[in-house]
Amino acid sequence: MSETLNRETFKPVIVGAGPAGVRAAQTLVRFGLRPVVIDESSIWGGQIYRQQPLIFKRSSKELYGFESGRADSVHQAMADILNQIDYHPDTLVWNAQDHELDTIHDGQTSTTPYSHLIVATGATDRVLPFAGWTLPGVYTLGGAQVCLKFQGCAIGKRVVFMGTGPLLYLVAYQYARAGAQVLAVLDTSSLSDQVAATPRMIAQPGLLAKGIYYVAWLRTHGVPVHRSIQPVAAKGESHVTSVVWRDKRGEHTLECDAIGFGYALRSETQLADIVGAKFEFDPAQRAFLPVRDESGRSSIPGVYIAGDGGGIMGADASELAGELAAFALIADIDIQLLSPTDLQHIQTLKSRLTTSSKFRVGLDRAFPFPENWADNIQDDVIICRCEEITAGEIRHAVTELCALELNRVKALTRVGMGRCQSRMCGVAAAEIVAECAAIDIKEVGRLRGQAPIKPIPFITEPETLSVHKQGER
């Protein structure tokens, strides 16, 4: 290890304490820096390795299954460095300007200056609506998983899981194992998609084996798995009472009181946008993402983007990316700070990331984005759940009001103007505009991140805050 860095000069800040943020912090601490780590959650771990409330008692194995080793490692890594970092949980970064982040914690705003910034803001579920998806009882796959992992609850008594992606099978498996009644897994992908992907997925045989295991387990435990399906509707008046889906045999209805659905993940890029990072369209992820080099350097010197927040890579790869970003930060301060061992290690990390990205290509092939979704979505289906804007209204803006670009569609229809600022509807809205205007998805453009990144209250001095945090640490 080389000379200790001057902590007065270098104030690195990491936003996000999931796998990427934790590994970045761990690496910076090794070089003698004291990073500020800001996280919206009350405890580190991110989403996939989200920790349960202190007073809960389930084991790591119960919570994380095959990933318990990795989860424990990430959790312990952060616990070990807690007194060597400046940790700010329950803190939202809502804006950035002039090398300072605007934060809010307990209703109070503050600013945090940074010399270097690692953006590790993670991801949320990628949503493609179907009729009735806004009914009580319908949740994202990630949400269904949080319900179980973080609260020990199932989203309902009789749950159907729908959509595609590895998370679909993982969450269904976790629910069934935990004793929930899982009625079916409905996958929009086909068996031949998954077979065709196998050669790529061999790149990470352990991960491939896990996927096969989940499906096999579900089958042997009586959970029907249907592929090549198309969601039709969630039915019900005040809450979901059945799901309707279609396959080549026809239309099917299954009575249920909860649906968990999703189509892989989408990156949380608002902070990267606000700090001015350059974005480019990524055809594989069908999204505009911040440009980053193989170490995570963005187009802005001193700003690094690690993990799912800059493009979906999965938890394992996010750990590698967090380390790499931190190494890049160190190298950018002074390359001499890296020893030959460090440089060797960096090469190993990069090569592991490359292997991981090959597997990702396989995953995308196994669980492809349903490109015919926009073709099939009915006019009366709500797309923007905040503003209750339908597919038909979006199409009207394209065909009657000549809106061929997402920001104009937003201005005319209010799509994306709600509290969630297009997190839930942006993907779907773009697909509809592209399909309706007969243009490539890239030409539709993107909605920009604007402050506040999430809603903030007018008063920034709490009157009486009767919200209890998760116990003192």
Partner 1 sequence: MTDFNDYKSLSGPQFVRLAETDRECLSFQLNGKSVQALKGDTVLTAILMNQSCLRKTEMQGMPRAGFCLMGACQDCWVTLASGQRLRACTSFIAPDMHITTFPGDPL
Partner 2 sequence: MTQLISTDVAVIGGGIVVASAALALRRMNLAVTVIERDVCGSHSSGVNYGGVRRQGRSISQLALSARAHEIWSRLESIIGIDGEYHRSGHLKIARSQADMASLEIYREKTLAYGMDLQMLDASDLRKLYPWLGDRAIGGSLCPEDGHANPRLVSPAFAAAARRAGADIREHSRVDSIEKDGQSFILTTQSGLQVRSAFVLNCAGAWSGKIAAQFGEVVPIEPIHPVMVVTEPLAPFMNLSLGVEGGGVYARQAPSGNCVIGGSRGFALDDIRARPSRSAINLVLQQTVELLPSLRHAHIIRSWSGTEGSLPDKQPVIGPSKTTSGLIHGFGFSGAGFQIGPAVGEVLAELVRDGRTSTPIEAFAIDRYL
Residue 200's contacts (CB-CB under 8 Å, 6 or more residues apart) are: 358, 359, 361, 362, 365
Is position 472 an interface residue for partner 1 (rule: CB under 8 A)?
A: no
Going from the C-alpha of 432 to that of each of 248, 280, 399, 405, 442, the distances in angstroms are 24, 20, 12, 11, 12
Q: Shortest approach of partner 2 to residue 109 CB, angstroms?
A: 7
For 163: left if phi > 0, alpha if psi spans -120 to 50, otherwise beta; the answer is left
The residue among 204 and 390 lying less far from partner 1, judged by its C-beta, is: 390
Q: Shortest approach of partner 1 to residue 374 CB, angstroms?
A: 21
Is position 414 an interface residue for partner 2 (rule: CB under 8 A)?
A: yes
Give the footprint of partner 1 on residues 429-458 (CB under 8 A): 454-455, 457
CB atoms within 10 A of CB 335: 9
Q: Is the dihedral of CA 415, 420, 425, 427 positive or negative?
A: positive
Is position 457 an interface residue for partner 2 (rule: CB under 8 A)?
A: yes
Q: Shortest approach of partner 1 to residue 241 CB, angstroms?
A: 11
Is position 57 an interface residue for partner 1 (rule: CB under 8 A)?
A: yes
Residue 402 contact, options partner 1, partner 2, none, Cβ 5-8 Å cut-off depending on partner type = partner 2
Residue 224's contacts (CB-CB under 8 Å, 6 or more residues apart) are: 183, 184, 185
Residue from the set 129, 137, 211, 416 that interacts with partner 1 by CB under 8 A: 137
Q: Shortest approach of partner 2 to residue 422 CB, angstroms?
A: 10
Residue from the set 55, 335, 438, 459 that interacts with partner 2 by CB under 8 A: 459
CB atoms within 10 A of CB 221: 11
Binding mask 65-104 for partner 1 (x = CB under 8 A): ----------------------------------------
The residue among 39 and 342 lying less far from partner 1, judged by its C-beta, is: 39
| CB of 438 closer than 8 Å to CB of 398 | no
Six-digit token pair at 80? 């070990």
Is position 401 an interface residue for partner 2 (rule: CB under 8 A)?
A: yes
Q: Is the dihedral of CA 63, 64, 69, 70 positive or negative?
A: negative
Q: Shortest approach of partner 1 to residue 146 CB, angstroms?
A: 4
Q: What is the largest CA-CA distance in the chain?
A: 68
| CB of 141 closer than 8 Å to CB of 125 | yes
The C-alpha angle with vertex 387 and arms to 385 and 389, in degrees rounded to 5, equals: 75
Q: Shortest approach of partner 2 to residue 140 CB, angstroms?
A: 20
The residue among 29 and 412 lying less far from partner 2, judged by its C-beta, is: 412
Q: Shortest approach of partner 2 to residue 16 CB, angstroms?
A: 21
Binding site for partner 2 (CB under 8 A): 95, 97, 100, 102, 109, 111, 276, 387, 401-402, 405, 408, 411-412, 414, 417-419, 421, 450-452, 455-460
